[in-house]
Amino acid sequence: MQQRTRNALYLGLGAALGLSLGLSRGVLADKPPALGAGMPWQDAQLFAEVLERVKVDYVNPVDDHQLLQAAVRGMVSSLDPYSAFLAGEDYDDIKINSSGEYSGVGIEVALQDDEVVVIAPLEGSPAAAAGIKSGDVIVTIDGVAVNTSSLDDTIGRMRGKDGSTVKIGVEREGNAEPLVFSVKRQRVELHNVHSDLLEPGYSYVRIAQFSETTGEEMNAALRALRKQNKTPLKGLVLDLRDNPGGVLEAAVAVADAFLDSGVIVTAKGRTPDSKFEMDATPGDVLQGAPIVILVNGGSASAAEIVAGALKDDHRATLMGRTTFGKGSVQTVIPLTAQTALKLTTSLYYTPSGASINHKGIVPDIELPRDDKAREETELAPRDDPDVRRALQELKVPTVSHGDAVTAALPPRG
């Protein structure tokens, strides 16, 4: 893959929007621009005056650090919905989502009826080894009751330094008293790729989000499916519904796996590093077998890069609903004191040169299904009507005429 940029770029996660971002691994310039350079003195005076009035007249005392942090946050967030000043847990979450790993107990939890319920311990995780099970209700962490109004608080308390120990108290059906598990934290890998063999020859791969390891995970999943099938795969349903984004390079790796050549994505911005092009390399892991990509309004950012690249190259059929339309790139610039600036630096474009920002990608085949109903029922792939419809599309015979691929018509009498 050719790459015209020195930065490693990422498409990050944020709420349900699928933020796209680039995490700069380089060092800051030797001589950063002078603070306030070019700022009109009237504006500088106004800022100082407001700061002083707040310090003196606000109903509660506020220290300088708190006020200046708030000023920085407000300045950056006013630019667009995706630029932000990152500190503390916000910065940690960005790094966890992009790297695909963290130090903790390896457990999936959810709030259900004001209880923190274990969905499942990750396979091979410390939580699984300790004996925590699906359906357990977490009631205490290190002897302190969990905050049922903030799932993030519970998750944050279970994470910690690799090798440290946390005591997790759970209520389990059939047990009169809570059980307490002593769990040793360790590095936990997030697995965002889930796969299945829908029927002989036809595979299903869901990518929940893109992290640094997603490309490798997907290729490993396809190898396992080929081995299970014992013959080459006849088609793939690639499920990107409700995928909010992730690492750009992982999205490029996923698209590249199915393309022999051509542009995957380009980006344009004001600085040299914000202008880049990423191209496909020879080799198609499916050897030309058809692909149907499922998308919806929750498919954003990195997911849209994959969908746009394979659609523009006529390598896949898009099915579902119009995607979110997140076509900007944010670069995460590390600052002092374990803080960072997430700043919009460029717009990206699909191979055809189209910008999907605020527009999204319209699928080739639109499905009127209510996505909310699908989320609430959590259907298995084989039971999901969208997946069944995609499988039906994979089985439509096709014939190739030069660069075009069309459905084969039955003979006419």
Active-site entry in 93, 239, 256, 326:
326
Q: Is the pLDDT of residue 305 over 60?
A: yes
For residue 280, the model assigns a pLDDT of 98
| pTM listed for this prediction | 0.73
Residue 276's DSSP bridge partners are 267
For residue 337, the model assigns a pLDDT of 81
Q: Is the pLDDT of residue 289 over 90?
A: yes
Query: What length is written for the chain?
Result: 413
For residue 380, the model assigns a pLDDT of 86
Q: Is the pLDDT of residue 25 over 60?
A: no
Q: Which residue has the higher pLDDT, 96 or 41?
A: 41
The rounded radius of gyration (Å) of the Cα atoms in the chain is 24
Whether 342 is catalytic = no
| CATH superfamily label, 102-189 | PDZ domain (2.30.42.10)
Whether 384 is catalytic = no
Q: Is the pLDDT of residue 385 over 70?
A: yes
In this predicted model, what pLDDT tens digit does every residue of 52-105 receive, in sequence order? 999 999 999 999 988 999 999 999 999 988 898 988 777 777 766 666 567 789
Q: Which residue has the higher pLDDT, 291 or 26?
A: 291
The residue ranges of every structural domain in the chain are 9-32+39-98, 102-189, 193-327+347-407
Q: Which residue has the higher pLDDT, 11 or 289?
A: 289
Active-site entry in 301, 342, 346, 384:
301
Q: Is the pLDDT of residue 408 over 50?
A: no
Q: What does the block give as tokens for 201?
A: 């020859």
Same fold, 102-189 and 193-327+347-407: no
Fold of 193-327+347-407: 2-enoyl-CoA Hydratase; Chain A, domain 1 (3.90.226)
Active-site entry in 242, 273, 279, 312:
312
Whether 326 is catalytic = yes
Answer positive or negative: Cα dihedral of 201, 284, 388, 190.
positive
For residue 162, the model assigns a pLDDT of 86
In this predicted model, what pLDDT tens digit does every residue of 218-259 receive, in sequence order? 999 999 999 999 999 999 999 999 888 878 899 999 999 999
